[in-house]
Structure 1
Amino acid sequence: MVPWGLIVSVAAYAAFPQHRTVIVAVSAVGSLVRGGKKKGKAVRHKSFVAGDPDRGVKLEWSSITCQLLDKKGNEVKKLLDGLNGSARPGRLLAIMGPSGSGKTTLLNTLAGQLPKSSKIALYGSIRANGVPIADSWHKQVYVRQEDIFFSQLTVRETLVTAAKLQLPSSMSDEEKEQHVEQLLQHLGLVNAAGTIVGDNKTRGISGGEKKRLSIACELLGNPSVVFADEPTTGLDAYQAEKVMQTLKDLAKEGRTVICSIHQPRGSVFDMFDDIMVVAGGKLVYSGPAGDACLEYFKNQGHDCPLHSNPAEFLSDLVGTDHTSADTEAQSAARIQRLIQAFAAHSAAQTGSSTALAVSQDLQASLADSEEEDGEEDGEGGGKSKRRLGLTAAKADGAGAGFWQQFKILLVRAWRQTTRDRATNVVRAMMNLTSAAIFGSIFWRMGFGQTTIQDRMGLLQVAAINTAMASITKTLNVFPKERQIVERERAKGAYAVGPYFLSKLVAELPVTAFFPALFSMVCYPMTGLHRTVPRFLKFLGATTVESFTSSAMGLTVGCIAPTTEAAMALGPSIMTVFIVFGGYYVNADNTPAIFRWIPNASLIRWGFEALCVNEFDGLTFEATKPTDLKTGRQVLERLSFADSSVAKSVRKEVQIMLGWYWASAYLLHKKTPEFTRLLPVSKLAGKESESGNGVEGAAGKSSVVIEEVIEASGEAVTAAEVTEVSAESLTTAEVTTTTTTTTTITTESASTEVETSVEEEFVEAE
């Protein structure tokens, strides 16, 4: 079908410049009417159905401004200053700029992933296919710069676990596994599918394969928009090119792909369809990559040398030379000129691109109408694109339920715990070595008076060793695991309850094994109470203490932001518990203000249980009247006379449950929160109070045509009007007697035409 409406509209627009306003308005109305003809009402951007996996999503953003605030809420710095742009389906958009330019902040903003902070204020507008981003149903994913996985799972197991948790329950396990196999095939991970992911302790897949695994995990739901934060960081040239080729392939299949990147090699730069260059939070260039980009900068007086990397050329162009104060000032002046030049260039291009923009919308609407006609006639039913050969994930049905999540996570936790050979071997060697050393020092203790102190010393170091060995392992592992959990929970993969329960159940046998190893070596070597029931109680007390210490490590791991911070905080808290553990300071002599600490000390209750188990029923050699004859007298000296093994273990269990509850609560509360995008009008209000406008280069994402007609009838072109720099566009004074301003604002696929006649000046809002 020939799009006669489109042809006539474009021809009329070119032939009758004096009536362009009317022509554009009629064309836009016709576009809306045709788009909604089937249902009897207008349909916005019918050609880009948000959320439909077989349709593209066009993202448009305007006036994106990110402010860094002080404690009083006043602006300290603009991290992003009124950025406009768009990303289209089927094209790879790269956001480039030097370190600190704001490219990652912009990417996080577009993806809705900018961490929430009282020091950040975010303004602007983001639309998907003309619909406000909050109202859009499209699927989007964010591939983070850090590739964090459970190190002991294979590539296939990682993907299968994610698929079972995230894909709808209406899909069978076979369908989910088939989905995973397709991903492995198309992302080039088949050869690595059976290899564990690995970490710095265990060799696994390469950095490039980890990045592609990150992409694969995000592609499970077949998203329409893919964001990637510096995907080539830390990779060699070969792996970086393979990762970028993967993103390029995703774009070719109809997805909208946006990535931030620092300084790619030339072959990677050639893959970009569009680029945005930012410096100091402002826009230096936005448009097609390749020759068009280099031609633009050549026209600005900056010619890219022959046979050089365009990415390096751009990085040098917008980078700051800190060699001296003079070079720094020269760099700042050059960057400012480039920013102003592009603002003027963008304004000049606005009028000439209006007809094309409206025509493209009309063309899309007409094409959609033809496609619907074909579907009704039984044609085109098999013409929808298959992205990377993947079938769209089913939309019906919920994800895994509580017990299904528990089962899936239990398998993952068990594999991670039991396969971590390096950690388990080190823990085993530490316990065996400690037991052998303590056994050698306290070898075959007798029943003399001096052995009383020896026994107390042995039981104290046994309690400390058990606690420190357990908490050290947890602090080394959990902060990193917590990042994975927070990322997965942000996607709604599972709840805290199933995760926490599965982790405890999976680690229960392993956590119990190491205290048992220590006890079986140390107990007989030192000659402690030689009965089986006493040995079993010793073993039980150390095992419960190990669980409690691990629970405390989970809580510290939830509080500390990094592994290093956790490793500093955990032992510090444990030191306090050791001091008030009953050996160095008697509980009866503890100052009132600190009396709660012995009650909360896992060392105290572990030590108490071991002492009661050992001394109760023992008789010592006494040669002096002041000598302690029985173990009960020793317990009275320690203020443990009224205690029992069962009572001490119950107290230990209560502390353990308290730490577990605190850990689960903190995990639940640590669900990631992101900064909310506020309307530009609120920023306008703030700036107007201080006497500043808000338009400029950060103006609304609307198409503005200004035809200034002088009283004499001579027309001034749009390019001449927009020669004013972006900073001076807030209030444009016109010296003519009568000024006609026509503003056409395209929002949500509708066109609004406003005509106003003002005297003396034109104020753009």
Structure 2
Amino acid sequence: MTQNDFKKLSEAVGGLRRPADLRLDLNIKPKNSSSESPTSPRISRSIDLGFTDVSYAVRTGILNRGRRELLKTVSGNFKAGELTAIMGPSGAGKSTLMDVLAGFTTSAVTGQVTVNGQPRNLATFRRASAYIMQEDNIQPLLTAEEAMHVAAELKLNLCKQDKTRRVEKILVALGLDEARHVLSGRLSGGQRKRLAIALELISNPPVMFFDEPTSGLDSVTSKQCIGLLKALAREGRTVICTIHQPSALLFDMIDHLYVVAQGYCLYTGGTSNMVSYLAEQGLCCPEYHNPADFILEVSAGDYGNFVPLLSRGIKNGSSNKWRSPAIGGLSKIEEMIASGLTTPVRAPRLPPTPILHMDKPEKDYHQITGEYATSFWKQLYVLLKRNVIRLSRDKFLTFTRISMHLLIALLVGTLYYQIGQDAAYVFDNFNLLFFSIMFLMFSAFNSTIITFPSELPIVMREHFNRWYKLRSFYLANKLADFPVQIVAASTFTLVVFFMSGQLPEIRRLLLYVTMCIVVSFVAQTVGLILGIGMDIRNGVIFGPLVILPFMIFSGFFVHINDAHPYMQWLFHISFLKYGFEGVMVAIYGYDRPKLDCSIVYCHYKYPRQLLKEVDMTEAEYWSSISILIGLYFALEVIAYIALRIRLKHRR
């Protein structure tokens, strides 16, 4: 291939360069260089990630003190400019190893991880890296272009024109230009995978991790995906992925292979050298047999237990004997494009992003750059805007919630039509008031316990990749959902209030509606806490077990004075009790005059007589609502802490 042919080929794949030209093209300074940028501290774009004697163990049970080692003193070195693949059978420890290297798993890890030979500063490293998980975890109700602009607003501290140009460049380079106006949830598997990469590529991180990037893709799309990762690596990035069982074609596209099994490293080096290494250990790969399949069969023990032998032969990952030399001339991917075996894949040519040295003290790092690219208020604004768009398109979470409240209100209002001022139906009205707050409690509770678990993986990916502060996300979610919940609860209470013929006093109406809204907010936060701690299936099963006690001790089924003294304290921790007392006082308290009676005799013509009968003569509206508001803020704090703990542990 001539020099002109290589130039044409480089243009086809988006500016791939020979390694000799790579450092100059990306303005990468040598690792031992002491020169500094005039406007920022020392800049290092080329990142080699090493690790020595890394071990990781997990507990085998809640009550069992035993621990199971998933990684056993493995070592290795992943270099910039190479596509590194971690391979192994299921349960071998490949995803665990990548989680440790990415900083996704930090507790119970021993050993050392280094960046360019220096101990890694985790906070700085995470700012310079991106983790694309196996599940795409993209907001399904945003278009590809909208999702890209949100990422640009959160991850870049540039002017609007520069952000737009970068978004356009990445969309075109990754083949998403024609799908820019398609909702992310309607994209094909390959397009979703490319969009997930594009979102993290916005900040042009020098280190990128991919967990099973070809999972769920067909052979053609898998080939394009690996080609894209290869192109990203050729631009000078450190690209690391896990892969389960690649085809022979995909296997040949990998620059550096790292094989793990039973927590040990069985091989590290070039894919073309693996067969020779296995032969040296007495394992001959059959002719015309996919080497990737063969090493997996060996790892799984199909030919006997060779794990200890192979681990010793490669020194558990610390040996570089079988590593391929620096790539010169045309790489494998470029040869395949030239021969027509794969489709050209382009990597966007992005300007280098200044990244501080990985060994710089963390306190200095935060003082100079900040942990996030944008401020708290900018994050809040962007996330709030995104949530408004999402809620406007979410038929279940928004329109269905409001229409359901209206439909149930019309049904209940018809059933209890014009009974509110008739003493003959006072206990029917009593039942109506309890049903109102019970319905609002369950609807608000279920709306979060069902929907938030699906949102959690998206939060986990975006927060880990340093898109925004957790409090920005939490507050934006609350502010966006407030109007929806208020409209839904108000629609129900207003329709029920007027159709049931309650006393038409503006003060009673406002007190009634306010109490119902506050009860719904408290129930919603209880559902949020369970949604954070459980998946949808467990939440649906165990959620009623959590919420039903509040209803039992609300004072409707059993009055507090009729309960056993040892159980009366349970009434005082039921938020539904305070809500029920509040609506009863709003409707029947404040010296309400004698009720009309449509029959010969009505025992409860005087509202105070009813309040005495149900043990609510001492109930006070403002005391009840103060307790509910205080409980609401306490539960919000608990929910926020639970979310932080969930994101910290992640697994």
Q: Same fold by TM-score, threshold 0.5 exceeded?
A: yes
1:284 match: secondary structure: strand
Superimposed CA distance per residue, residues 543-578 of structure 1 (whole angstroms, 9 cap, x where no aligned partner):
2222222222223334x1423333344432221111
Question: Which residue of 531, 545, 564 corresponds with 2:537?
Answer: 564
Question: Which residue of 173, 196, 201 corresponds with 1:214?
Answer: 196
Which position in structure 2 is the counterpart of 1:609?
A: 582
Inter-partner Cα distance in structure 2 for 1:350 and 1:501: 50
Contact kept in structure 2, 1:622 and 1:629, CA below 8 Å = no
* Range with bigger deviation, 572-581 or 560-569: 560-569
Contact kept in structure 2, 1:128 and 1:136, CA below 8 Å = no
Contact kept in structure 1, 2:129 and 2:465, CA below 8 Å = no
Superimposed CA distance per residue, residues 711-731 of structure 1 (whole angstroms, 9 cap, x where no aligned partner):
xxxxxxxxxxxxxxxxxxxxx
Matched, 1:88 2:79: yes
Q: Report the alpha carbon displacement of residue 596 of structure 1 after superposing the two structures with TM.
A: 4.5
Matched, 1:266 2:248: yes
1:587-598 → structure 2 map (5 Å cutoff)? 587-598=560-571
Which position in structure 1 is the counterpart of 2:69?
A: 78
Question: Which residue of 508, 528, 536 corresponds with 2:502?
Answer: 528
Structure 1, unaligned stretches of length 5 or more?
A: 1-42, 199-203, 321-330, 361-385, 676-765
Contact kept in structure 2, 1:145 and 1:230, CA below 8 Å = yes
1:574-723 → structure 2 map (5 Å cutoff)? 574-616=547-589, 617=592, 618-621=594-597, 627-668=603-644, 670=646, 672=648
Which position in structure 1 is the counterpart of 2:95?
A: 104
Inter-partner Cα distance in structure 2 for 1:80 and 1:563: 31
Contact kept in structure 1, 2:526 and 2:635, CA below 8 Å = yes
Q: Report the alpha carbon displacement of residue 492 of structure 1 after superposing the two structures with TM.
A: 4.1
Which position in structure 1 is the counterpart of 2:119?
A: 132
Q: Report the alpha carbon displacement of residue 647 of structure 1 after superposing the two structures with TM.
A: 4.3
2:213 match: secondary structure: coil
1:633 match: secondary structure: helix
Q: Report the alpha carbon displacement of residue 411 of structure 1 after superposing the two structures with TM.
A: 0.9
1:147-226 → structure 2 map (5 Å cutoff)? 147-168=136-157, 171-198=158-185, 204-226=186-208
1:501 and 1:594, CA in 2 relative to 1: closer, same or farther beyond 3 A? farther
Which position in structure 2 is the counterpart of 1:721?
A: none
Inter-partner Cα distance in structure 1 for 2:513 and 2:122: 59
1:221 match: secondary structure: coil
Inter-partner Cα distance in structure 2 for 1:166 and 1:628: 65
Q: Report the alpha carbon displacement of residue 449 of structure 1 after superposing the two structures with TM.
A: 5.7
1:545 and 1:239, CA in 2 relative to 1: closer, same or farther beyond 3 A? farther
2:257 match: secondary structure: strand
Contact kept in structure 2, 1:615 and 1:632, CA below 8 Å = yes
Inter-partner Cα distance in structure 1 for 2:488 and 2:317: 73
* Range with bigger deviation, 637-646 or 72-81: 72-81
* Range with bigger deviation, 452-461 or 336-345: 336-345
Question: Which residue of 274, 296, 317 corresponds with 1:315?
Answer: 296
Inter-partner Cα distance in structure 1 for 2:555 and 2:319: 78
Residue type matched to 1:246 in 2?
L
1:459-608 → structure 2 map (5 Å cutoff)? 459-530=433-504, 534-558=508-532, 560-608=533-581
Which position in structure 1 is the counterpart of 2:219?
A: 237
Question: Which residue of 349, 353, 370 corresponds with 1:393?
Answer: 353
Residue type matched to 1:317 in 2?
V
1:608 and 1:239, CA in 2 relative to 1: closer, same or farther beyond 3 A? farther
Q: Report the alpha carbon displacement of residue 590 of structure 1 after superposing the two structures with TM.
A: 4.6
TM-score by length of 1: 0.68
Residue type matched to 1:247 in 2?
L
Q: Report the alpha carbon displacement of residue 302 of structure 1 after superposing the two structures with TM.
A: 4.5
Q: Report the alpha carbon displacement of residue 100 of structure 1 after superposing the two structures with TM.
A: 0.9
Matched, 1:61 2:51: yes
Q: Report the alpha carbon displacement of residue 352 of structure 1 after superposing the two structures with TM.
A: 7.6
Q: Report the alpha carbon displacement of residue 62 of structure 1 after superposing the two structures with TM.
A: 2.8
1:440 and 1:267, CA in 2 relative to 1: closer, same or farther beyond 3 A? farther
Residue type matched to 2:262 in 1?
G
Contact kept in structure 1, 2:204 and 2:352, CA below 8 Å = yes
1:432 and 1:267, CA in 2 relative to 1: closer, same or farther beyond 3 A? farther
1:47 and 1:61, CA in 2 relative to 1: closer, same or farther beyond 3 A? farther
Q: Report the alpha carbon displacement of residue 341 of structure 1 after superposing the two structures with TM.
A: 4.5
Contact kept in structure 2, 1:476 and 1:563, CA below 8 Å = yes
Q: Report the alpha carbon displacement of residue 481 of structure 1 after superposing the two structures with TM.
A: 2.7
Residue type matched to 1:285 in 2?
Y
Superimposed CA distance per residue, residues 158-210 of structure 1 (whole angstroms, 9 cap, x where no aligned partner):
23222222323xx2232223222222222222222222223xxxxx2223322
Contact kept in structure 1, 2:474 and 2:640, CA below 8 Å = yes
TM-score by length of 2: 0.79
Residue type matched to 1:389 in 2?
R
2:558 match: secondary structure: coil
Q: Report the alpha carbon displacement of residue 137 of structure 1 after superposing the two structures with TM.
A: 6.3
Matched, 1:279 2:261: yes
Inter-partner Cα distance in structure 2 for 1:140 and 1:497: 22
Question: Which residue of 251, 270, 286 corresponds with 2:233?
Answer: 251
Residue type matched to 2:222 in 1?
A
Inter-partner Cα distance in structure 1 for 2:178 and 2:229: 20
Superimposed CA distance per residue, residues 283-315 of structure 1 (whole angstroms, 9 cap, x where no aligned partner):
22221114x323433555544455544333332
Inter-partner Cα distance in structure 1 for 2:481 and 2:60: 45
Inter-partner Cα distance in structure 2 for 1:347 and 1:585: 67
1:391 match: secondary structure: coil
Superimposed CA distance per residue, residues 656-704 of structure 1 (whole angstroms, 9 cap, x where no aligned partner):
22222322343455552699xxxxxxxxxxxxxxxxxxxxxxxxxxxxx
2:411 match: secondary structure: helix
Residue type matched to 1:153 in 2?
L
Superimposed CA distance per residue, residues 703-758 of structure 1 (whole angstroms, 9 cap, x where no aligned partner):
xxxxxxxxxxxxxxxxxxxxxxxxxxxxxxxxxxxxxxxxxxxxxxxxxxxxxxxx
Percent same amino acid among aligned pairs? 28
* Range with bigger deviation, 184-193 or 255-264: 184-193
Structure whose alpha-carbon radius of gyration is higher? 1
Inter-partner Cα distance in structure 2 for 1:136 and 1:471: 36
Residue type matched to 2:544 in 1?
P
Q: CA RMSD in A?
A: 3.7
2:52 match: secondary structure: strand
Residue type matched to 2:522 in 1?
T
Question: Which residue of 425, 441, 464 corresponds with 1:451?
Answer: 425
Residue type matched to 1:459 in 2?
L
Inter-partner Cα distance in structure 1 for 2:646 and 2:68: 28
Residue type matched to 2:546 in 1?
I
Contact kept in structure 2, 1:479 and 1:566, CA below 8 Å = no
Which position in structure 2 is the counterpart of 1:123?
A: 110
Superimposed CA distance per residue, residues 83-114 of structure 1 (whole angstroms, 9 cap, x where no aligned partner):
23222222111111111111111212222222
1:77 and 1:600, CA in 2 relative to 1: closer, same or farther beyond 3 A? closer
Inter-partner Cα distance in structure 1 for 2:580 and 2:188: 47
Contact kept in structure 1, 2:424 and 2:599, CA below 8 Å = no
Inter-partner Cα distance in structure 1 for 2:394 and 2:650: 34
Inter-partner Cα distance in structure 1 for 2:319 and 2:549: 68
Inter-partner Cα distance in structure 1 for 2:480 and 2:59: 45
Which position in structure 1 is the counterpart of 2:358?
A: none
Structure 2, unaligned stretches of length 5 or more?
A: 1-29, 327-345, 356-367
Inter-partner Cα distance in structure 2 for 1:94 and 1:504: 41
1:351-366 → structure 2 map (5 Å cutoff)? none
